[in-house]
A and B are shown apart, each in its own frame.
Chain A
């Protein structure tokens, strides 16, 4: 038996109790096969789930293997280990029977649990060792306040890092300089003085710098650590975007995440979003150099509070249900690429839950009664354990269908999230309309967005939207600043207020 599977709870995967009889196991397997077998269910997530189910069945249907597995299970239960729990809140509990398709949202919440299945004490967050690299843009456009603030920011994070952490610093323009090779942070002053030598000059070629930093992090890759690359840039990279994306694919496989921050208006947000989303990281926009300091400090703090790394979500809907889109709401707001599974969610923090909003399309003409809807599998590597320790949480979501559903109150958390997601989507549609040359439509969408932002009390963003609507009408274009402010502004609305998490 694959040792990796010894770590999973095979009974949960198959959906039976540990005392189940051989017949129960066979029935459960048949049911699962009817739902997820590639012949009946074309979803990528479903076939991934079916693989797991097959393995579980292989072990549990064989008396000898099952008893071996039982011993493993009992010995594991004796040593208390940390874990995480997942729960799902549906937008509606009971669906009506109608002749058309309908929408259903699920809010998935993943929470860290201490050994003994206790909630993590927010006052004692775990401190995970870091293996990180800073990739700093020092092209000529960074000259002045931008580069100075980046230096200040780099100095400040050194005070957060200790002997257990590794840091690598790469400065890049059209070539890359490895200023600090990945080393334990024992001499912060020495690192500071090397960072101070950075001078502005040259163009922007992200791949050079990114690749040098990634190689360093990869060399010292450690499952007990958070392995992460932070990219700070203010420009567009030319010609090497494909190489960067390929690097991100490799990073995803290895287990290194990448996050990025863009300063000013020039950088390519779509590209950085793609690049970081692949690895479960995220991209942020700041328009003032001063914000760099806060961003970087916050980023490093967030990383060191990681509880589990490489959180991966597999969504296996029933064959007639469709996964439409996904959006990570916290710890940072980011649209998810749901086409290829498993979906990377990045790190789980010890004191803050990871929240994901999933949109499904339910089929028309459903039969009244209870039905299964989707199975969600969340797998992650728990940090700080002696050996590699993968943990898996499974949620099997069912729903009720009725000809006369009673009126129900949609859950507050879902309504809040959807209201804000609607704003972000309006911005995205306006942007798309402009790219398609639909000036009229773009203007209308921006004006709608402004009205809604005003109602939501976001006056600054509302004014920005109105101004951009005017600009679009006159010039058929958005200003880069306006576009980025609206995109990342509406996106960041989805982050819960900081005190909301510490209930």
Chain B
């Protein structure tokens, strides 16, 4: 199984383009890009990496409506299994702390959260009126949406396919 870097869909080994979003699958192409930079054949390959970067800062296409959806899927970069999260009005993001008994709804402690700079109570996601918003809770290392740092306690609307960053930990979110 190879995971599409753009939308996180699992594709069968041997595919070069994601079945879901049609983007070139970087994992399949990266090996070739590093092994033989001089002779990369196509424009498609050359553009793949830059197109992917451009998408991080561009809020284009992805819908904001969660109508008829009961859970969201979060892909943590570097992890193989995505997290499926049931939607509720308020979902906190952070890492669990056994001593103080703090357990966030989206617990990132199993993803090396301390080293990556995730605070205990890092951010929160609010769900109402079929839209999802992301609020930074004054974390030490900051919360980023599509590469832009959020001002603490100011909510921002999340689109399908957006990239969220907590400290150094990168997550991609999908409405499914």
**Residue numbers in B under 8 Å from A100 (CB-CB):** 1, 12-13
Q: Is the CB of B13 within 8 A of A452?
A: no
Q: Is the CB of B39 within 8 A of A102?
A: no
Q: Is the CB of B22 within 8 A of A415?
A: no
Partner of B41, one of A91, A409, A422, A450: A409
Partner of A450, one of B17, B23, B61, B68: B61
**Residue numbers in A under 8 Å from B61 (CB-CB):** 447-448, 450-451
Q: How far is the CA of A421 from the CA of B69 in the complex (A)?
A: 29
Shortest B174–chain A CB gap in Å is 9
Shortest A121–chain B CB gap in Å is 29
Residue B42 interfacial (CB < 8 Å): yes
Q: Is the CB of B69 within 8 A of A423?
A: no
Q: How far is the CA of A17 from the CA of B74 in the complex (A)?
A: 59
A-B interface contact total, Cβ < 8 Å: 95
Shortest B43–chain A CB gap in Å is 9
Q: Is the CB of A91 within 8 A of B16?
A: yes
Specify the main secondary structure of chain A where it touches its partner.
Answer: helix
Q: Is the CB of A416 within 8 A of B68?
A: no
Q: How far is the CA of A415 from the CA of B23 in the complex (A)?
A: 12
Partner of B14, one of A103, A408, A411: A103
Residue A186 interfacial (CB < 8 Å): no
Residue A22 interfacial (CB < 8 Å): no
Residue A96 interfacial (CB < 8 Å): yes
Partner of A409, one of B1, B24, B32: B32
Residue of B12, B18, B44, B61 with highest tally of chain A CB at under 10 A: B61
Q: Is the CB of B36 within 8 A of A440?
A: no
**Residue numbers in B under 8 Å from A419 (CB-CB):** 16-17, 24, 44
Residue B45 interfacial (CB < 8 Å): yes
Q: Is the CB of A412 within 8 A of B63?
A: no
Residue A92 interfacial (CB < 8 Å): yes
Q: How far is the CA of A102 from the CA of B11 in the complex (A)?
A: 9
**Residue numbers in B under 8 Å from A497 (CB-CB):** none
Q: Is the CB of A411 within 8 A of B13?
A: no
Residue A70 interfacial (CB < 8 Å): no
Shortest B109–chain A CB gap in Å is 30
Q: Is the CB of B13 within 8 A of A415?
A: no
Partner of B13, one of A98, A407, A423, A447: A98
Contact with A along B59-92 (1 / 0, CB 8 A): 0111101011100000000000000000000000
Partner of A412, one of B1, B42, B65: B42
Q: Is the CB of B32 within 8 A of A410?
A: yes
**Residue numbers in B under 8 Å from A104 (CB-CB):** 14
Q: How far is the CA of A55 from the CA of B28 in the complex (A)?
A: 44
Q: How far is the CA of A153 from the CA of B40 in the complex (A)?
A: 45
Residue B53 interfacial (CB < 8 Å): no
Partner of A448, one of B16, B20, B32: B20
Count A-side interface residues using an 8 Å CB cutoff.
Answer: 42
Partner of A103, one of B13, B40, B42, B63: B13
Q: Is the CB of A455 within 8 A of B51?
A: yes
Q: Is the CB of A102 within 8 A of B24?
A: no
Nearest chain-A residue to B31 (Cβ)? A407
Shortest A503–chain B CB gap in Å is 15
Q: Is the CB of B44 within 8 A of A416?
A: yes
Residue A101 interfacial (CB < 8 Å): yes
Partner of B16, one of A98, A406, A418, A451: A418
Q: How far is the CA of A440 from the CA of B175 in the complex (A)?
A: 10
Q: How far is the CA of A92 from the CA of B12 in the complex (A)?
A: 14
Q: How far is the CA of A455 from the CA of B16 in the complex (A)?
A: 16
Q: Considering the complex, which residues of chain B in the window 21-38 have a beta carbon less than 8 Å from any beta carbon of chain A?
A: 21-24, 28-29, 31-32, 34-36
Residue A362 interfacial (CB < 8 Å): yes
Q: How far is the CA of A284 from the CA of B12 in the complex (A)?
A: 32
Shortest B175–chain A CB gap in Å is 8
Residue of B17, B28, B45, B62 with highest tally of chain A CB at under 10 A: B17
Q: How far is the CA of A448 from the CA of B65 in the complex (A)?
A: 15
Shortest A94–chain B CB gap in Å is 12
Question: Which 10 interchain pairs have the tightest Cβ spacing?
Answer: A412-B41, A103-B14, A102-B13, A407-B31, A422-B17, A407-B35, A102-B14, A452-B22, A447-B61, A422-B22
Residues of B participating in the A interface, judged by any CB pair closer than 8 Å: 1, 7, 12-24, 28-29, 31-32, 34-36, 39-42, 44-45, 47, 51, 55, 60-63, 65, 67-69, 160, 175
Extra contacts, 9 of them, besides A101-B13, A418-B16 (Cβ < 8 A), are A95-B14, A407-B35, A408-B32, A410-B29, A416-B42, A419-B44, A448-B7, A451-B55, A454-B60
What are 11 A-B residue pairs whose CB atoms fall within 8 Å in the complex? A102-B12, A406-B35, A407-B32, A410-B16, A410-B32, A414-B16, A426-B21, A426-B22, A440-B67, A444-B175, A447-B63
